[in-house]
Structure 1
Amino acid sequence: MNLQQFRFVRETIRRNFNLTEAARSLFTSQPGVSKSILEFEDELGIKIFERHGKRIKGLTKPGAVVAQVIDRIMREVDNLKKVSDEFARRDEGGLVIACTHAQARYILPKVIPAFRERFPKVRVSLAEGNPPALAQMVLHEQADVAIATETLVHTQGLAALPVYSWEHIVVVRPDHPLAELTSQQAKNLTLAQVAQYPIVTYDRQFSGRCAIDEAFAAGAVTPDIVLEAIDADVIKTYVDVGLGIGIIAGMAFDPQRDKGLVGLPVGHLFGTHTTRVAIKSGVFLRDYVYVLLEMLASNLTREVVQEALEKSPQAEEPAIAR
């Protein structure tokens, strides 16, 4: 048995048992992957995958155990590479940050310039997506860290640490009736008053949208949501052209930058939310990753992060075919 076979098995599982996709991602041929896996199964004396003809349907019961062992082995192989890089190329390497558009647009610009000044030889990449996809990127080690509000804290195998808290605000045009309210008066706004107007807000997987839906449902109020978007700038654009009022995350509104709009705090309606940064349990972190985490939140010291990683449970076993 060899590491190549381990990689083929792991990638086949990650690609939902599609050998063609697994081969493409590993820059090799599908017949080569299939043959290598069959040889590995013969050597072990067990079947790792359930098959229907030539198609792989899922993992057998012993295959699920083998997959867990392979995942641990490959994680340690990757850790060895990172340890080598840490001591041979201490201030060089790559850093992939998986994040939502809101974090890329409003939070990371306050952090990345300072990080780059300290680590000019580290290549920084941003991988944007929805929170569930970001969690999977870190679990599959396609990203070093993920930053989002939803999902991360509920994903087994990840240590999710709080970065900052925030509340929603309603944004309106200056000529809108709600624009006459002061910030203090806005704190008395009701769900029914908000629902009197067409609403532009986030897609259901982003920036506390679930909390918005739950608040309206709990209040037995039906909102008229006329447009959903993943980007607060898009929401503000459509508010500006008169499509409706917007409900966005507080950090996405800047009175100096967004002078054509009025922001009203509505945390009392939709609650307080926590944006978190997540790292994978069992993964060796380069020194500069610890520095990034502390730049995101000063309380995220190396000791705090390491303690969280030690307490975080490992990922669940892959699903077994029935």
Structure 2
Amino acid sequence: MVGSQLRGLPRALLSTPAPLAAAARSLAQMNIARLKNFTEIVKNNFNISATAEKLYTSQPTLSKQMKMLEDELGLALFTRKGKNLVGLTSAGEQVMELAKGVVAQVEQLNQLSLGEQLATSGVLRIATTHTQARYKLPTVITEFSRRYPDVAINLHQGAPAQLAQMVQSGDVDMAIATESMYLFDELAAVPCHRWGRSVVVPHGHPLIDCQPLSMADLARYPLITYVFGFTGRSKMDKAFSRHGLSPKTVLTATDTDVIKHYVRLGMGVGVIASVAFDEGDREDLVSLNIDHLIASSATHICLRKHAHLRDYMYDFIHLYAPHISRETVQLHLINQPPAANMAELPWL
């Protein structure tokens, strides 16, 4: 396991007689707990107190472990300002890259050693947007819970960039969102669905009679839509820009239900994900499809590369996107994603 990590080091590092090459080889005999704590300190922006609290240990103990790690490697890993850690040295950055792989593989072995019991019980931590949590996931989660009654589900909501960060830091097992997922090198983004947008207006609104609806028609009215960075907002902004239009956005929100509420109050025209318009909305609102105006977006499941997924996690992904095979997910995890044609993805 560790040997394979060593083979993954840059050739220049392994061929260096000292001190980095010796440090790399010594990882095979090292206390893995110290390596894990080292990576946690980096994740927590070198805040020893916060890391100690997260690891249920004391600050002096953690500081002592890091000093022992540096002594064991014969390297200065941290740059310091007084007694405070402020960053990594050049050697520390290289050791960090190796340590992340070692710790991840040890965690995989620990999970595998728990056996079949973990395949049917545990916790599934999902980060997602309000639109997914409210309109797409209920049927998926209901069926998943029927199949796995001993698996608790923790839902976390946030902006797409925040969701990706949660996956990257290991705070959640996966994220489901649209924007920003593919921008993180350490994450695997599996495209699952494409989805379009609709304009929502009250009954009797003049836009209902605009056939076909144009970007110029939309720009004449105050808009209510998602906060930038949420649910494909950037594509909408680019569509207006291509037409030389600067619409007046009077309100933005992260919650689709909030957008529809303010449309009902007469504040403006709403632009939402089409999937977020349900039967109950038809009583007082009209949905106008605008797929001909704004290109569809893709929803991704975001995972940490090289992560070990339990069987029930693969099953959850299959329930969410039945056309995505276990093998496809695994190819993304090892950074060898199959070619994907977004136009062939099923609609959400």
Please, what TM-score do these two structures have when normalized by structure 2?
0.84
**Secondary structure of 1:161's match?**
strand
1:243 paired with 2:272, answer no
Q: 1:301 aligns with which of 322, 325, 330?
A: 325
1:125 paired with 2:149, answer no
Match of 2:306 in 1: 282
Counterpart Cα distance in 2 of 1:272 and 1:120? 36
Deviations 1:142-199 (A, max 9, x none): 2111100111122212221122111111111113211345xxx2xx222221111111
Letter in 2 for 1:30: Q
4+ residue segments displaced more than 3 Å: 255-258
Deviates more, 1:172-181 or 1:109-118: 172-181
Deviates more, 1:136-145 or 1:113-122: 136-145
1:75 paired with 2:104, answer yes
Counterpart Cα distance in 2 of 1:222 and 1:89? 53
Give the Å deviation of 1:30: 2.1
Q: Residues 119-268 of structure 1: matches in 2 within 5 Å?
A: 119-181=148-210, 185=211, 188-268=212-292
Q: 1:112 aligns with which of 141, 144, 157?
A: 141
Counterpart Cα distance in 1 of 2:131 and 2:234? 16
Counterpart Cα distance in 1 of 2:214 and 2:35? 57
Q: Residues 21-60 of structure 1: matches in 2 within 5 Å?
A: 21-60=50-89
Counterpart Cα distance in 1 of 2:47 and 2:120? 38
Give the Å deviation of 1:32: 2.2
Counterpart Cα distance in 2 of 1:303 and 1:11? 31
**Secondary structure of 2:334's match?**
helix
Deviates more, 1:22-31 or 1:277-286: 22-31
Give the Å deviation of 1:104: 0.7
Deviations 1:193-252 (A, max 9, x none): 111111110001101111111111221111100111001100000000011000111111
**Secondary structure of 1:283's match?**
coil
Letter in 2 for 1:82: Q
Counterpart Cα distance in 2 of 1:271 and 1:89? 41
Give the Å deviation of 1:56: 1.8
Q: Which runs of 5+ in 2 are unaligned?
A: 1-29, 338-348
| Higher RCO (C-alpha 8 Å, min separation 6) | 1
Q: Is the 8 A contact 2:120 2:150 kept in 1?
A: yes
Letter in 2 for 1:230: T
Total equivalences in the alignment: 308
Identical-pair percentage? 41
Letter in 1 for 2:278: D
Counterpart Cα distance in 1 of 2:34 and 2:118? 29
**Secondary structure of 1:268's match?**
coil
Letter in 1 for 2:149: P
Q: Is the 8 A contact 1:95 1:124 kept in 2?
A: yes
Letter in 1 for 2:213: L
Q: Is the 8 A contact 1:85 1:93 kept in 2?
A: no
Counterpart Cα distance in 1 of 2:157 and 2:173? 13
Give the Å deviation of 1:312: 4.4
Deviations 1:47-101 (A, max 9, x none): 1111111222211111011111221121112212221234244311111111111
Match of 2:296 in 1: 272
Give the Å deviation of 1:257: 4.0
Counterpart Cα distance in 2 of 1:202 and 1:256? 21
**Secondary structure of 1:170's match?**
strand
Q: Is the 8 A contact 1:150 1:207 kept in 2?
A: yes
